[in-house]
Amino acid sequence: MEDKKEYHILSLSGGKDSTALAFFMRDNMPEIFEKLELVFCDTECELPETYDYLNKIEVFLNKKIIRIKPEKSFEHLMLLHNYFPSPIKRWCTVELKTKPFKNFIANKLNGNKKPIINLFIGIRADELQRAEYNKYKNKIIKEIYPFVDYGLSYSDVMKILEKSGIGIPKYYEWSNRSGCYFCPFQSKNNWLNLYENHPYLFFKAKKYEDDKNQKNNNNYKRVGWNMEMSLGDMINPENVKKIRKYSTRVRKNYLQENKLYNLLY
């Protein structure tokens, strides 16, 4: 009887958790790491720091990253969908990441009789709810969460990155999230940070808004990346001051609540 073909795949996001998992597997699961495929779904809209970090990962791990790209560019998809992606309708994630990754997996299945696909995911023990949300829902694919199995949380991830010497991506110096430069989930404060750190990308996103609204000739409701404010309005000095002030207050309250939680529990 012919042995089933077995694959070991780790989906890298360019963020700290999946990167830490790669280093964890190298040090604690060497027999699997040797056969492990590192896969990154490149939306072609990532932050420059993300691409720099991926190159750094390849050097530190001495392992090539497989970079999957979507069949259609974001510009093409915008024309097809004819509306901005949003937290409610996040077609960007589906088209730029989910579908390309599913096609990558499908190619593994093609021509193989029920192969074994082990998909390693960097969800931590302190965020178990995400494990259920991220289910691949395919019987052939076995999702494995090493951080959950080993009981590793956020602090452990940070220790792994520090010990390995790679550290965290540079975008964390000004952003609190990974992802595309135009991510509709980012706050107005994060948009301002993009404006200060990568003005070219900010104005590229703004041009999408301007072109779309000009095409509408103001006969329809204004459209844009943010549900509350256009990017042009955000960089108005008066609004910048309000957004920064609000963000500082929210951050201060978060730190106070977190400190109280740690004292009580």
How high is the pLDDT of residue 136?
A: 55
Supply the pLDDT for residue 141: 86
pLDDT tens per residue across span 89-141:
889 999 999 999 999 998 888 766 678 899 999 999 988 766 655 555 567 78
User: To the nearest whole number, what is the mean pLDDT of the chain?
Assistant: 88
Write the pLDDT tens digit of every residue in 30-83.
Answer: 999 999 999 999 999 999 999 999 999 999 999 999 999 999 999 999 999 988
The predicted structure's pLDDT at residue 110: 76
Question: Is the model's pLDDT at 176 over the cut of 90?
Answer: no
Is the pTM value of this prediction over 0.85? yes
Work out the pLDDT band at 265, boundaries 50, 70, 90.
Answer: very low
Residue 223: pLDDT over 90: no
Q: How high is the pLDDT of residue 87?
A: 86
What pLDDT shows up at residue 37? 98
Greater pLDDT, 18 or 112: 18
pLDDT recorded at residue 127: 85
Average pLDDT over residues 161-186: 93
Quote the crossing angle between the two packed helices 188-197 and 237-264, to the nearest 10°. 120
Domain ranges of the chain: 6-173, 188-264
Q: Is the pLDDT of residue 165 over 80?
A: yes
CATH number for the domain whose boundaries are 6-173:
3.40.50.620
